[in-house]
A = this chain, B = another copy of it.
Amino acid sequence: MFRYTIILLLFLITISCYKEKKPDTHFLQTYPIKKVVVDSLKHPWSMAFITEDEVLISEKDGALLKVNLSSKQKTIIKGFPKDLTDSIRVQYRGDNSGIFEVLLDPDFKNNQQLYISYAAKQEGEGSTTKVIRAQLQNDSLQNIKTLIEAAPYTKEYFHYGGGMTFGKDGKLYVTVGERLFKEIDEPELPIAQDITDTRGKIYRINADGSIPKDNPDFGSTAVQGLYAVGIRAAQGITVHPKTGSIWFTEHGTKQGDEVNILQSGANYGWPIITTGGYRSRDYVPPNIEGAVFTNPTWYWRHTVAPTGLVFYTGNEFPEWKNDLLITGLSRGSFWRFRIENDTIKSTEELFINSRVRSRKVVQSPKGKLYMLTDEDNGKVIRIQPNKLKQ
Instruction: Name the CB-closest residue of B to A343.
Output: B353
Main secondary structure of the interface of A (DSSP, over half): mixed
Shortest distance from the beta carbon of A322 to any chain B beta carbon, whole Å: 6
* Chain B residues closer than 8 Å to A349, beta-carbon distance: 346-348
| Contact status of A352 and B344, CB under 8 A, knowing A13-B9, A31-B338, A321-B29 | yes
A222 on the B face (CB < 8 A): no
Instruction: Name the CB-closest residue of B to A315.
Output: B23
* Chain B residues closer than 8 Å to A318, beta-carbon distance: 23, 25, 28
Chain B interface: which of A14-22, A69-77, A78-86, A202-210? A14-22
Complex CA–CA separation, A5 to B13 (angstroms): 14
Instruction: Name the CB-closest residue of B to A322.
Output: B390
A88 on the B face (CB < 8 A): no
Q: Give the size range of A's interface with the partner.
A: 35 or more
Say how many copies of this protein the assembly contains: 2
Complex CA–CA separation, A347 to B336 (angstroms): 10
A155 on the B face (CB < 8 A): no
* Chain B residues closer than 8 Å to A6, beta-carbon distance: 5, 9
* Chain B residues closer than 8 Å to A347, beta-carbon distance: 348-349, 352
Instruction: Name the CB-closest residue of B to A339.
Output: B390
A→B interface (CB under 8 Å)? 1-2, 5-6, 9-10, 12-13, 16-17, 20-21, 23, 25, 28-29, 31, 301-302, 318-319, 321-322, 336, 338, 340, 343-353, 388, 390
| 10 A-B residue pairings within 8 Å (CB atoms) | A2-B5, A6-B9, A13-B16, A20-B20, A28-B321, A321-B390, A345-B353, A346-B348, A346-B349, A346-B352
